[in-house]
Structure 1
Amino acid sequence: MSSQTNPTILLLGTCDTKIAELLYTKSSIEDQKVTVLLMDIGRVQSSDPNIMITQETILQHAPSQKVDMSSLPRDEYINFLTQPAIDTVQFLVKSGNIHGILGIGGSCGTALATAIMQSMPLGFPKLMVSTMASGDISPYIGSTDIAMMYSVVDIAGRNSVLDMVLRNAAGAVVGISRGYLERLQEKKEPIRSAPKVRVGISMFGVTTPGVTKAREHLEEFFGKQGCEIYVFHATGSGGRAMERLIEEVQLDAVLDMTTTEIADEVVGGVLSAGDKRLCAATSKDIPRVVSVGACDMVNFGPFETVPETWRGRMLHRHNPTVTVMRTTAEECKKIAKVIAKNLRGVGDNTEGQRSIAKTKVFLPVGGLSMLDVPGQLFWNPDADEVLFSTLEKELEGSGIEVIRDERDVNDPGFAKRLADELCSLILTERKY
């Protein structure tokens, strides 16, 4: 392990358009006795002597054909440069030559820099100063831990406001990178005779009581062996993050109580996690208990943002920024089919078929959320029955056990039952 005491920061930017701002940021970082590697991700090659990683260096990782990026449209230039840039930075990370990344840019620079950052490991420091950081930043964040800082003014010439933001960004990236380097060198994680069980749980506001009870039970059950729980907020990005951690073999089991993101994917809500939700655990063959928490609803933003098509539907203002819509029986049928398809691993007949014995599905007949219980606005047992019966039919012959429980998803007994079932699957897997 290196005895280096100060981190090295990779600074990303389009040097053909923002060299003055990048050099000021570089100087602000170096004032804190930290080394900076300036990497040029511009469309036109720059010859500034401060650039340590040039466009030419990056393109050594590109396909053999020569391309004049300055002649490409912006979207094509970004697509062409992204993978070579990712390969370049991944080498720097894996070799331990950098300990944090700071990017500054407008829309194009942000798209390229954050694509690079998304390929970096979780926990590796990533900070982006962007003109785009005050709007919808989900395309830039993806499923990773990028920190975004709004530039306030355009990054188009230095001024006192922008200089202040860039100085703050320099201080921030130095701080988190120093902490990261210290963790690498101190090896704080103790050696355990038996590794912790790492469990992912999906949760939404309207399934929080049930998830909390299940989490507490898991922590109590695995107290002696150790259990680390990762709760993912089912907001689209949360589901994608959980899928990513499963793919990276950073989760050992999943209690997927809240599959509402699939409802958004099917119906057209704003919190979809994509059409591959549930697929990672199927392909990775890990113990899994699944339920249909919050599949009674589809999510939109503030009430006025709900598409006109849905204005006549049953809507509930969850808070000033979130409006939810009750799913119909026909939508529930479609949701169930997607859940079943992804649980079975259709299209992946080798790995998909291996995982079925480690998956159990529980159907809370008493209600799918806090809003879907007797006396509440979304209570609709007929629509729920379509969801349940379709899942049962679609999973027939798959080897995946589907169990009905008369309680609702937030009932403490239901939550404990799901946690117990997952514990049993984990113990069988690990042969405790």
Structure 2
Amino acid sequence: MTDRTILVVGTYDTKDDELTYIADVIRAQGGGVVTMDVSVLGDPANPTDISKHQVAEAGGHSIAEAIDSGDENTAMQIMAKGAATEALRLHRAGEVHGVIVLGGTMGTDLALDVCAALPLGVPKYIVSTVSFSPLIPPERLAADVQMILWAGGLYGLNSVCKASLSQAAGAVLGAARAVEPPARDRPLIGMTSFGKTVLRYMVALKPALEERGFEVAVFHATGMGGRAFESLAAEGAFAAVMDFAPQEVGNHLMGSTISAGADRMTAAGAAGIPQIVSTGCYDLVDFVGWQEPPPRVAGQEVHAHNRLLSSVMMTAEQRREMARTLCAKLARATGPSVLILPEQGGNEWDRPGGPLSDPEGLAAFVAEIGAHCPDGTRLIPLDAHINDDAFAAQVLEVFDGWIADGTVTR
């Protein structure tokens, strides 16, 4: 088994025992360790591989600046910037193969920045007293971050917290040894969707695109999936995107906590990546099923998907607002952009006679798209439903044209 080296990050002035315990467990399993101190006021009992001074300087600041700020929030953000920068440098240099960060709320705030800085495929573990807490906004979670609750570990070592710390140490080392990073041996297509009960186009499109020499990654557009999609688009990982499920845009617009953030559906356009966009589930607002609907959609018809997830049907006016929002995002695209508009509906439940059918709302949305689609986006109205074979055929016609003219290369 090839040894892997793990970056162990924390405030060594106050959490030296716990961090050293994690490092010892990793070493006992045959792994290597690089230690990083992100303290501000105090000093560790023993020197770390990367000192707090090096961390602050990596972010363009100094420990003196952090102390002189007189504000713990400002100071920790200085350290977070430096820790994220240094962690990425170490990864790119091949010096570390995974990261584990320990902390309470302060340490977790920093940990989120460190993990977000590292690309997908690098094992990232946060051991925190607030793991899984609503304190943590979804938009700050890296696409493949793992969190373990630091139970009973607020102060000092004990048998309870050792159970958490040892699992985390073993998990990050095991992940670093087992991970199969993205191969990047074929150009990658990023696609958004939901399960086959509601959207089915990927069943036909994935094998068809693979036959053309492309790899296809389908992202579940329920908040975190959209975040992963956007982060990879921002990295330039995609040869093209097929963003057919923009529901997260509507979720954010209507105030749902199931959000991929305000920048959803912008990264590909900003990077100049060719994009084909459509309107799968545009008319639904997802919310946490065991909570009340967002105030903006309170009192509207609810479809319970399961005990975790429910959806609210948008009104005609909300659909118009959604249409304008989508068009405004497309207007910012710097690369080739096509909007395929299935005029017979955007999810399996909204077909005529279906439980979520609303012909007037659909007509309002279609008309608003037509009125506001930006000049730089090619609009293709399609007299079909998004789950019809005609939709997949239209997508492939556009994509094959891009291959033929060199917009997308194999």
What TM-score results when the alignment is normalised by the length of structure 1?
0.86
Hey, what's the Cα distance between the residues in 2 that align with 1:67 and 1:93? 27
Alpha-carbon contact 1:267-1:298 (below 8 Å) kept: yes
Structure-2 residue corresponding to 1:36: 33
Q: Is the aligned partner of 1:401 residue 2:378?
A: yes
3-state SS in 2 of match to 1:10: strand
Match of 2:397 in 1: 420
Instruction: Kindly indicate whether the alpha-carbon contact (under 8 Å) linking 2:3 and 2:30 is maintained by their aligned counterparts in 1.
Output: yes
Is contact 2:34-2:49 (8 Å) kept?
Answer: yes
Letter in 1 for 2:189: V
For 1:240-263, what per-residue CA distance to the aligned partner results, in whole angstroms no more than 9, with x for missing partners? Answer: 221221221110011111111111
| Map 1:238-317 → 2, pairs under 5 A | 238-307=225-294, 310-317=297-304
Distance in 1 of aligned mates of 2:297 and 2:269: 34
Report the Cα offset of residue 163 of structure 1: 0.8
| Cα distance change on mapping 1:6 and 1:368 into 2, 3 Å | same
The residue type equivalent to 2:278 in the other structure is S
Change (3 A) 1:88 1:286: closer
Alignment partners' CA distance in 2, 1:175 and 1:138: 27
Superposed counterparts of 1:100-111, under 5 Å = 100-111=98-109
2:201 is aligned to 210
Q: Note if 1:173 corresponds to 2:172.
A: yes
> 1:141 deviation in Å?
5.3
Contact 1:202–1:255, Cα closer than 8 Å, also in 2: yes
- 8 A Cα contact 1:199 1:228, kept in partner: yes
Distance in 1 (CA, whole Å) between partners of 2:297 and 2:89 is 49
| Unpaired runs of at least 5, structure 2 | none
Q: 2:304–2:310: 8 Å Cα contact kept in structure 1?
A: yes
Contact kept? 1:207, 1:258, Cα under 8 Å: no
Alignment equivalent of 1:125, drawn from 123, 126, 134: 123
Give 3-state SS (helix, strand or coil) of 1:305's partner.
coil
Which residue in the other structure is 1:22 paired with?
A: 19
Partner of 2:9: 12
Evaluate the alpha carbon distance shift between residue 280 and residue 160 of structure 1 in structure 2; reply closer, same or farther with a 3 A threshold. same
Give yes or no for contact 1:211–1:410 (8 Å, CA) kept in 2.
Answer: no
Where 1:23 maps in the other structure, the secondary structure is helix
Give me the whole-angstrom Cα distance separating, in 1, the residues matched to 2:274 and 2:104. 43
CA distance in 2, matches of 1:303, 1:60: 45
> Counterparts of 1:140 and 1:57 in 2: how far apart (Å)?
28
1:117, 1:146 within 8 Å by CA — same for their partners in 2?
A: yes
Identical pairs, percent: 29
Q: Which residue of 2 aligns with 1:328?
A: 315
Structure 1 regions of 5+ residues with no counterpart?
Answer: 346-351
Go from structure 1 to structure 2 and tell me whether the alpha carbon gap of 1:290 and 1:392 turns closer, same or farther (over 3 Å shift). Answer: same
Contact 1:12-1:103 at 8 Å conserved across structures: yes
Q: Which residue of 1 aligns with 2:88?
A: 90
Where does structure 1 differ by over 6 angstroms across 4 or more consecutive aligned residues?
none
Deviations 1:44-64 (A, max 9, x none): 231311522221221223445
TM-superposed deviation, 1:291: 0.8
Distance 2:352 2:82 in 1: 56
Matched, 1:373 2:351: yes
TM-aligned CA distance change 1:335 to 1:189, over 3 Å: closer
Task: Please say if residues 255 and 422 of structure 1, whose CA atoms lie closer than 8 Å, have aligned partners that are also in contact.
Answer: no
Whose helix fraction is larger, Structure 1's or Structure 2's?
Answer: 1
Measured in 2, the distance between the counterparts of 1:80 and 1:384 equals 49
Instruction: Give, in whole Å, the separation in 2 of the partners of 1:164 and 1:201.
Output: 39
Offset from partner CA, 1:31-86 (integer Å, 9 cap, x none)? 12322222111232313115222212212234456325387433222222111222
Give the C-alpha shift of residue 285 in structure 1.
2.5
Give the whole-Å Cα distance in 2 for the aligned partners of 1:68 and 1:256: 42
Give yes or no for contact 2:120–2:143 (8 Å, CA) kept in 1: yes
Q: Is the 8 A contact 1:207 1:409 kept in 2?
A: no
1:350-380 CA deviation, whole Å, 9 max, x = no partner?
xx4x52xx32211122211122111223211
Distance 2:288 2:216 in 1: 29
Matched AA of 1:147: Q
How many residue pairs get matched?
Answer: 406
Aligned to 2:360: 382
Task: Name the amino acid aligned to 2:202.
Answer: V
Mean Cα deviation higher: 205-214 or 14-23: 205-214
The corresponding residue for 2:54 is 57
1:105 Cα offset (Å)? 1.6
Q: Secondary structure at the match of 2:348?
A: coil
In structure 2, the partner of 1:349 is none
SS in 2 for 1:78: helix
Query: CA separation in 2, counterparts of 1:281 and 1:121?
Result: 17
Query: What residue is the counterpart of 1:150 in the other structure?
Result: 149
How far off is 1:307 after superposition? 4.0
Segment drifting more, 201-210 vs 167-176: 201-210
Deviation at 1:327, TM superposition (A): 0.7
Q: In 2, are the aligned partners of 1:78 and 1:112 still within 8 Å (CA)?
A: yes
- Kept after mapping to 2: 8 A contact 1:287/1:422: no
Residue of structure 1 equivalent to 2:387 = 410
1:326: how far off?
Answer: 0.5
Aligned equivalents of 2:56, 2:275: Cα separation in 1: 43
